[in-house]
Amino acid sequence: MTKTVETTLGALPVDQLGWINAHDHIIMDGGYTVVKTPDFKLDSVEKAIEEMGYWQQAGGGVVVDAQPFGAGRNVRKLIEISEKTGLPIIVPTGFQSKEHYLPDHWQYKYDEDTIAELIYAEVAEGVDLNGYESPIIARSTVKAGFIKVAGDYQVVSMHTHKHIRMAGKVHARTGVPMLVHTEHGTMAEVILDAFEAAGVPPSSVMICHIDRNYDPYLHKLLAKRGAFLQYDTPSRIKYQPEHIVVNLMRELFDAGLGGQILLGGDMARRSYWKAYGGGPGFDYLLTKFTPRLRAEGFTDAELQMIWHDNPARWLTSGR
Ligand SMILES: [Zn+2]
């Protein structure tokens, strides 16, 4: 039986997801981050429809949106974008890194089981259209497709450990996969250990931004454990030139570990979007980076793994 994945357009068979953008940002509407740094403000449905159009014209399929409630998630807008473009979006639940919240956010006050129940309801019943920001909960029919958890630079805080334990409780009941923000690609091994202790196998965990720590030894070690490695430095030369990630991907494929690589744009700023007058735009990974991979010897089968098979396996890993 074909497995399904929860999206803004309902549960879709995994073979209908197309080429999957494993980590991106379509709407960031309000929240502390946007107030602090207006470049993060991605609030326009119209601009999102234009930008998603470039992605779709380039052959792009479903997009994993990585902005959870309390940090600018607006599911009403995501649903409207999907209905107008036909593009399915996978909606997150869980938590961003701590810079995204004021210190008095409720996640610091509620106990683990209470938060786990709130997260479970978003996965099993439907996400709250009000983003758990008001006393009124209005559940959408759209269910969260994964739980986000965030580490810090060279440390996994007690607070993150609490999030991981809570996510483990929801995973035990639902099989939902995990998306992990790492800071500069650090602490991935400790995070995988903590997830394992919480009952979540590495094969249900996608480690994000790990190419910012491009040590092949580390990447092979994580991949051998079964974790998914999400890369997003292509086009973002402020982090590193692209040949580094191309060589890293080649080395992993040559070691038989290409089945663990996923790509995302992480275009979380206005200045990255063509629709807002910036660049390189959502479609860069498909219009520029993928042709480069082909030119450097990546086969169609390898590209299909990176863009479809691997993210599809992550999304359905526990189901
Ligand atoms: Zn992101």
Give the residue-averaged pLDDT of 222-251.
96
User: Tell me: the pLDDT tens digits for 61-111?
Assistant: 999 999 999 999 999 999 999 999 999 999 999 999 999 999 999 999 999
Number of residues assigned to the chain: 319
Q: How far is the CA of 266 from the centre of ligand 1 (A)?
A: 5
257 CA → ligand 1 middle, Å: 24
Q: How far is the CA of 180 from the centre of ligand 1 (A)?
A: 10
* Residue 147 CA to ligand 1 centre (angstroms): 13
Q: Residue 97 gets which letter from DSSP?
A: -
pLDDT of 1 reads: 75
For residue 184, give the 3-state DSSP assignment. Answer: coil
Considering only CA atoms, which of 317, 66, 35, 44 is closest in space to residue 203?
317
| Mean pLDDT on 284-300 | 98
Give the pLDDT band (50/70/90) at residue 285. Answer: very high
What pLDDT, on a 0 to 100 scale, did the predictor assign at position 57? 98
In sequence order, the 6+-apart residues with CB closer than 8 A to the CB of 181 are 66, 96, 97, 148, 149, 150, 151, 208, 209
Compute the distance from residue 20 Cα to the ligand 1 centre, in Å.
Answer: 15
What pLDDT sits at residue 79? 98
CA of 72 to the centre of ligand 1 (A): 12
Distance 96 CA to ligand 1 centre (A): 9
Amino acid identity for residue 128 in this structure: D
Percentage helix, strand, coil, to 5, in the chain? 45, 15, 40
Mean pLDDT across the stretch 208-230? Answer: 97
Q: Residue 131: beta bridge partners?
A: none
Query: 121 Cβ partners below 8 Å, 6+ apart?
Result: 128, 139
Virtual CA dihedral for 35, 79, 235, 221, nearest 10 degrees? 100
* Pick from 160, 236, 230: nearest CA to 198: 160
Domains of the chain: 20-315 (3.20.20.140)
Distance 264 CA to ligand 1 centre (A): 9
Distance 97 CA to ligand 1 centre (A): 10
Give the separation between CA 226 and CA 204, rounded to whole angstroms.
8
CA of 62 to the centre of ligand 1 (A): 16
Contact present, 233 and 240 (Cβ < 8 Å): yes
Spatial separation of the C-alpha atoms in residues 230 and 181, rounded to whole Å: 10
Q: Tens of pLDDT along 142-176?
A: 999 999 999 999 999 999 999 999 999 999 999 99
Whether the Cβ atoms of residue 253 and residue 226 lie closer than 8 Å to each other? no
Residue 319 has pLDDT above 90, yes or no: no
Model pLDDT, residue 68? 96
Q: pLDDT exceeding 90 applies to what percent of the chain?
A: 97
Residues with CB under 5 A from ligand 1 (ion): 66, 266
CA of 1 to the centre of ligand 1 (A): 32
The alpha carbon of 15 and the centre of ligand 1 are apart by a number of angstroms equal to 25
pTM, two decimals, is 0.97
| Averaged pLDDT score across all residues of the chain | 97
Confidence band for 195, pLDDT divided at 50, 70 and 90:
very high
Q: Distance, CA 68 to ligand 1 centroid (Å)?
A: 10
